[in-house]
Amino acid sequence: MDLFNNKGKQGGFNIISNKNQVHGGYGAGMIDLGNVSSIILDEESAYIDVGALHAKSAVEKGIKFSANKEDVPNGKHYWLIWVAVDQSEQGGYYAGVTACEMLIDKEARRGWKILADHVNKMDYAMKRRYMLDGLNGKETKNLRELLMSHNPKFWENSPTELKSKLTEEPAE
């Protein structure tokens, strides 16, 4: 299933809130994650991993997470990238893209992440924000290449703000 191209498909996961502010009924206060996908990013690669929507990406499986960064001294640096897509008059585009940091030591089966940050960044992506602070040049390049190659039309239709955040950094 291609979450970046959801033409006519209504297979999104819904989170229902019990804090109903309207007249009531099923579906009031729900969040549709049908237009959100996740990317796992590091210095070597970027790939779509929809398991990350439920904290079950390939790199997260079997890992015990801690909120204490010192618990993972040999952890490899990963980023979970939330991508929200939308439609405009020109067609589909990358409407929100945010980055969340993780450290994972597969050998020790330990990891570090701040779950609240991951949830908040997903929310920011859904609210059409671009928050990519902390990515280095290689990571930025990998993310840009994945977004461009996955759907060139979406990339072309995306705002300049996203494209400028993913431009090549000067050589160090």
pLDDT confidence of residue 35: 87
pLDDT confidence of residue 53: 85
Per-residue tens of pLDDT for the chain, all 172 residues: 454 555 554 444 444 444 445 455 555 555 566 789 999 999 899 999 988 988 889 999 999 999 999 999 999 999 999 999 999 999 999 999 999 999 999 999 999 999 999 999 999 999 999 999 999 999 999 999 999 999 999 999 999 999 999 985 544 4
pLDDT confidence of residue 34: 73
In the chain, where the domains are located: 40-165
pLDDT confidence of residue 12: 44
Half-sphere exposure in the Cβ direction for 46 (13 Å, CA): 23
Would residue 128 be called left, alpha or beta, if left means φ above 0 and alpha means ψ between -120 and 50 degrees? left
Q: Which residue has the tokens 């920011």?
A: 124
Q: Which residue has the tokens 């909120």?
A: 67
The answer to whether the beta carbons of residues 84 and 112 sit under 8 Å apart is no
pLDDT confidence of residue 13: 40
* DSSP structural state of residue 38: E
pLDDT confidence of residue 55: 86
Tell me, rounded to whole angstroms, the distance of Cα 35 from its chain centroid: 11
pLDDT confidence of residue 146: 96
The reported pTM is 0.80
Residues 6+ apart with CB under 8 A from 8: none
